[in-house]
């Protein structure tokens, strides 16, 4: 009988075949692994507390810097907008003069005991400082209004000094625009600075200034003049109704001593000396 050779692919007969054990089934009761309702509610609260503890100071810092971000951000937007007309160097100089002008209002507000809320720059409209009041009297309002053109003029005098030292028409053009900016704000129309000064000098000048600005609009149409007329018209009408109705405290608000009225008028008229003739070439 012929002997067959063992198959090398099969295990030897003496080796038992491997056995496989089924894996252990997971523990079925899912309810035993769930956390209680109190633990599920308390967990997110604890996690939120940890996050606030770590990042609360950062959030508080951002809130305190919100005013700075609003001011600086709107300044950059204004520089970019004016750059389309004048180029970035002249635009940056013009916005800087606007900032000096507005800082005059801010400084005087603090002297009057008023805390400014924000400063924002609006392209092609200028800038503004927000506040809940302007000092509680017409004299304080006039001081706040005139402080902007006064400090703005001092800042423009620095620019004019640079022109005298260098002879560069760039600085003369910037000085011209700076002086014109402060003089334009002295128009006796609310809410311009000149309108604030009229509160202490002669409130009836609001009507004269409004009529003159209306004539100027027909002679030289301008979107900025339209905006000033709309805002100024509403503010002038509101104050006229208050004065006519004799509201409580209204008479005391506009009560100004003759000496103070004279001083406000002297500053107002003296600002006209800052006009600069436009004899420079285009820059």
State pTM to two decimals: 0.71
Closest CA to 128 of 110, 151, 148: 148
Written as tens digits, the pLDDT of the chain (283 aa) is 555 555 555 555 555 555 555 555 555 544 445 555 455 545 544 444 454 454 444 444 444 456 667 788 888 999 999 999 899 999 999 999 999 999 999 999 999 988 888 889 988 888 888 888 788 889 999 999 999 999 999 999 999 999 999 999 999 999 999 999 999 899 999 889 999 999 898 888 888 888 888 888 888 888 888 888 888 888 888 887 877 665 545 778 888 899 999 999 999 888 876 665 555 444 4
pLDDT of residue 276: 58
Give the separation between CA 250 and CA 234, rounded to whole angstroms.
18
Q: What is the largest CA-CA distance in the chain?
A: 146
* Closest by Cα among 202, 169, 175 to 188: 202
130: enclosing H helix or E strand: strand 126-130
User: DSSP for 224-244?
Assistant: HHHHHHHHHHHHHHHHHHHHH
On the CB side of 144, how many CA atoms lie within 13 Å of its CA?
27
Structure tokens at 160: 């004019």
């Amino acid at each position: 009988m012929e002997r067959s050779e063992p198959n090398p692919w099969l295990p030897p007969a003496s080796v038992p075949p491997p056995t496989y054990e089924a894996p252990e089934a997971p523990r079925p009761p899912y309810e035993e692994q769930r956390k209680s309702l109190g633990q599920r509610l308390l967990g997110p609260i604890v996690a939120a507390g940890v996050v606030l503890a770590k990042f609360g100071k950062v959030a508080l810092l951002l809130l305190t810097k919100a005013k700075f971000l609003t001011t600086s951000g709107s300044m950059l937007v204004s520089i970019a907008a004016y750059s389309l007309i004048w180029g970035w160097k002249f635009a940056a100089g013009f916005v800087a003069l606007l900032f000096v002008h507005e800082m005059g209002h801010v400084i005087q507000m603090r002297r009057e005991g008023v805390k400014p809320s924000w400063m924002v720059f609006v392209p092609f409209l200028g800038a503004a400082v927000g506040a809940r009041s302007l000092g509680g009297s017409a004299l304080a309002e006039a001081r706040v209004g005139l402080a902007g053109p006064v400090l703005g003029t001092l800042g423009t005098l620095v620019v004019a000094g640079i022109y005298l030292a260098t002879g560069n028409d760039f600085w003369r053009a910037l000085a011209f625009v700076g002086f014109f900016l402060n003089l334009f704000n002295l128009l006796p129309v609310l809410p311009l600075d000149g309108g604030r000064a009229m509160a202490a000098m002669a409130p009836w000048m609001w009507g004269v200034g409004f009529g003159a600005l209306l004539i100027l609009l027909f002679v030289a149409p301008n979107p900025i003049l339209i905006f000033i007329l709309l805002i100024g018209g509403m503010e002038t009408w509101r104050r006229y109704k208050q004065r006519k109705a004799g509201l409580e405290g209204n008479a005391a608000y506009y009560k100004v001593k003759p000496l103070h009225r004279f001083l406000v008028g002297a500053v107002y008229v003296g600002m006209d000396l800052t006009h600069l003739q436009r004899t420079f070439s285009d820059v």
